[in-house]
Structure 1
């Protein structure tokens, strides 16, 4: 009521009190009513609850390492959901690595808790089109990400992979998440400055997806010991590595598609994923998945456990993306089909990338086979999800470039 809207003809988005020339304006693309939006609200509410609960846990998590005996909400909850012995083992395993970089890690965890609060507020300010609030909090969010990740980077630089909490595989995956988080927020900021709200939206959702690995990992700390009694915290983390990165990136994709209701993007013609390319991606992916399966199953009971943790989420995610791509084609949603297919190709290639990464990690870092397999799966999921968003961004930018050239040609032809 009383709010003006303007349509951005170059992106097909509708923004409140702003346009493509206002890079600070929050944008939610095509937020029409429907079943998908209702599910989106439920998902947004669930994420918000998780963030609000986890924020104080993150902020107090390292207090006992600075002052033994200091209260920590996370330890208190974990001790009652699992056991006091599980918590004691976790503290003992982390004491050595964390003590050497305690101040950077405190900065990282406290600001990480702040990011958990800023994320839902940013999404709400975008939905409500609160431009000034969104712009100010967006600046705070980006700066907080950089400072928080700098703390994590100092910890990783000061800690040899083999001496890190939960071992070398965990160190490698943390480094991958760090690079993905910083890269995503950087591209998101650049997209906002250049006036590309749809790209800004995608990159920031991916960034927040990477950040969500922290609270989701803590949930798995409380859940997995019930499924695998007696499993150590290091083994719990290894199970989580097999799917967490892929799941948060999948969540970011679902959010992006739910907010972008466009059927076409101006200037977008043809496809970057024709049938031969998609078939080749499936062949390479099947080969990579087959090799990874055999390598994991050769590792005994631990390998079988890790294989299930990897395969089940992978198959479910693949099925959803493939079905969504087919449904988009059936209803003539050209842009939705293209984005789903780009992500589908990337997901197919992730196992092949992981399989190729394993021998590289073994030779360059001297890791054993099981550690290299775990790290390879985590790196492959993160890298290919990041690459998929990059390809989607390039696809949109290419469409705009085509449209701009068409306009220049029409203008030149008219002047003649």
Structure 2
């Protein structure tokens, strides 16, 4: 059901992505996304969005067209990759995967040119949105690169995790458009810039969480040879919870200090965060009860990352204020917007190291088992040397 839902979203969004920038290149050109948004929200909502984007997009129109058209192609290639992997169509999966990886690099290069040419304060929806976009770009490129390396080195389980995370980051684009259509009903009167601020409070966390759920659903192994113990023991989880509680308390206080807008953003962050935490904690407990040592280990590693995300965001906020000269609210939105996604990325790195370490332990155990166990017989030197050598052989 999840695969079907993702496929439907991708098929619907692909033509929207490919035509999104036509009006900026040729005024009056049709754009499916603008047409749908104008009828689901209002023409004025769309007009404000277009007006805010005219300047930033106009300076980097060609790279953005490359990015959006290839982004639409990625929406089509993603389901092909997922379904071919599930159905074990190896040749199709490899061919589509090669095209997919190359398309990711070229598409993200177009987005990178836009970000490099556009100062954060002048970007569409402001500096916070620019920071979140840059983080997603780095996460997408890093994920597909690690996925390629895992496939080349013969780690299909790691390849699967990294490619799912990569596609999760790509899914922020269609999910953001869905929020453009849905959130104005919940918050009438908000501009698109404010809607974007609400959306980035949780989008990165949700797509990374979706990639985790997909990875665990496809990995049915209860234990893995070579893995023993845990990298997330009780004291580590306790420390992570304490750090996360401190970070969460600071974030809550900081948002409440920003008035109505701060409270709205805090709710957009806290509700998905609490639900995600509850699901991960419950899955870890169920894996423990079922004796699934590997499932329990992966859930616990992601639980530790989930706890540390608010602490990471709390530390990031003053850094953004001082290094980029941002105000407190913008730094809060940016710091919280990238926190969960970056910590989920870090969790996949740790999971990868855990699997690689386990395989290295298993390899050394096999090498040790292949060594001769008996003591070597010494051959005397002298007249009986030849006979002794023959008997030894």
1:100 aligns with 2:59: yes
Select 1:292's aligned residue among 233, 251, 262.
251
Task: Summarize deviations over 1:74-129 as a string: whole Å, max 9, x none.
Answer: 00000000000000000001110000000000000000000000000111111121
1:397 aligns with 356
Aligned length: 375
Which runs of 5 or more structure 2 residues have no equivalent in the other structure?
A: 376-393
2:337 aligns with 378
- Cα distance in 2 for partners of 1:301, 1:318 equals 26
Residues 182-331 of structure 1 aligned to structure 2 (within 5 Å): 182-331=141-290
Residues 69-88 of structure 1 aligned to structure 2 (within 5 Å): 69-88=28-47
1:22 aligns with none
1:125 aligns with 2:92: no
Which runs of 5 or more structure 1 residues have no equivalent in the other structure?
A: 1-41
Deviating beyond 3 angstroms after TM superposition, the runs of 4 or more aligned structure 1 residues are 413-416
Alignment TM-score, normalising by the size of structure 2: 0.95
- Cα distance in 2 for partners of 1:412, 1:346 equals 41
- Cα distance in 1 for partners of 2:272, 2:373 equals 55
- Cα distance in 1 for partners of 2:262, 2:197 equals 11
1:347 aligns with 306
- Cα distance in 2 for partners of 1:166, 1:383 equals 21
| 1:415 Cα offset (Å) | 6.9
| 1:65 Cα offset (Å) | 0.1
- Cα distance in 2 for partners of 1:123, 1:184 equals 16
Select 2:328's aligned residue among 359, 369, 375.
369
- Cα distance in 2 for partners of 1:201, 1:248 equals 15
Residues 26-45 of structure 1 aligned to structure 2 (within 5 Å): 42-45=1-4
Task: Summarize deviations over 1:240-281 as a string: whole Å, max 9, x none.
Answer: 010000000000000000000000011000000000000000
Task: Summarize deviations over 1:285-326 as a string: whole Å, max 9, x none.
Answer: 000000000000100000000000000000000000000000
1:179 aligns with 2:173: no
| 1:414 Cα offset (Å) | 3.8
Distance 1:415 1:217, change over 3 A: farther
1:24 aligns with none
Q: Name the structure, 1 or 2, with higher relative contact order (CA <8 Å, separation 6+).
A: 1
Whichever of the two has the greater Rg, that structure is: 2
1:109 aligns with 2:68: yes
Q: Secondary structure at the match of 1:190?
A: helix
